[in-house]
Amino acid sequence: MIKILSTILLALLLTACGSDDKAETKSTKVEKHADTTTPEKLEEIAKKTTIPPVATKQEKPTKDSSEKLVKNLFKLTTIDGKILHVDEAKDGIIFQEHKGKVVFLLFFGYRCPPCLGEIPVLKALSDEKHKDLAIIAMEVQRLPIEQLKLFKKEKGINYTLLSGEEATNSQFISYVGQRAQWGGSIPFLVAINPHGEVKVVHVGGLGSHEFKTIYEKLAKEK
């Protein structure tokens, strides 16, 4: 079974960019991450290690460990009511609905400045209609689903949006946090190649050039 992180860590994941009185302090921390990202460092970002698989108590080493990987590990619900089926992979995760594609899995907050700064960039990338790219964004600052729907309409978001308020989605956040050893700062990007392998994990805002560079690099791995 999936090992879920503690309530304390989950709370951290959901408020990393700041909530209530702590918003400005946390946001400043994330923006520093964004400032340190330059085109010259993209190659270093792209070479980061993949997310290690999570061992379970029942799991024992075998010659073919892939037999132990879980199908339909999660069934995530988008704010439009669609279901995304997630399979466990040795070096990442696979979204059944987006097999063979590059997947940008993002964790963001509705009141996180660098997260809001990425939205126009992601919209433009989505507008280019790359058939082999899927953008999936999870809101993790507890914005109620109905308000998140209004937020999507207001911002003109044209990519898949999920709410961390939904129970299974919340468990998925904890799962990713554990596998990626993610401290909870947002925006947080997990970039997955067409084989379901996580190739880039990055905390902090990215610009158009950085997103396109990562996409083009991973698309070649098909």
Number of alpha helices (DSSP H) and beta strands (DSSP E) in the chain: 7, 8
Is pLDDT larger for residue 162 or for residue 23?
162
Rounded mean pLDDT, 151-180: 96
In a domain, 203, yes or no: yes
Q: Report the number of distinct structural domains present in the chain.
A: 1
Write a three-state SS string for 25-63.
Answer: HHHHHHHHHHHCCCHHHHHHHHCCCCCCCCCCCCCCCCC
In a domain, 32, yes or no: yes
In a domain, 178, yes or no: yes
- What confidence tens digit (pLDDT) does each residue in 81-107 have? 999 999 998 899 999 999 999 999 999
Share of the chain above pLDDT 90, in %: 64
Q: What is the pTM of this model?
A: 0.73
Rounded mean pLDDT, 7-27: 37
User: Quick one: pLDDT at residue 23?
Assistant: 34
In a domain, 73, yes or no: yes
User: Quick one: pLDDT at residue 67?
Assistant: 52
Residue that has been written with the tokens 């860590």 in this structure: 9
3-state SS class at 208: helix
Distance between CA atoms of residues 138 and 145, nearest Å: 11
User: Quick one: pLDDT at residue 100?
Assistant: 94
Task: Give me the domain span that covers residue 47.
Answer: 7-52+67-219
3-state SS class at 110: coil
In a domain, 59, yes or no: no
Is pLDDT larger for residue 33 or for residue 184?
184
Rounded mean pLDDT, 198-202: 96
User: Quick one: pLDDT at residue 84?
Assistant: 97
Share of the chain above pLDDT 70, in %: 70
User: Quick one: pLDDT at residue 70?
Assistant: 84
Determine which of 41-55, 118-132, 155-169 has the lowest per-residue pLDDT on average: 41-55
Is pLDDT larger for residue 178 or for residue 39?
178
Predicted confidence (pLDDT) at residue 206 exceeds the cutoff of 60: yes
- What confidence tens digit (pLDDT) does each residue in 43-70 have? 454 444 333 333 333 333 333 444 577 8
In a domain, 57, yes or no: no
* CATH code assigned at 178: 3.40.30.10
Predicted confidence (pLDDT) at residue 125 exceeds the cutoff of 90: yes
In a domain, 116, yes or no: yes
User: Quick one: pLDDT at residue 92?
Assistant: 94
Predicted confidence (pLDDT) at residue 14 exceeds the cutoff of 70: no
In a domain, 62, yes or no: no
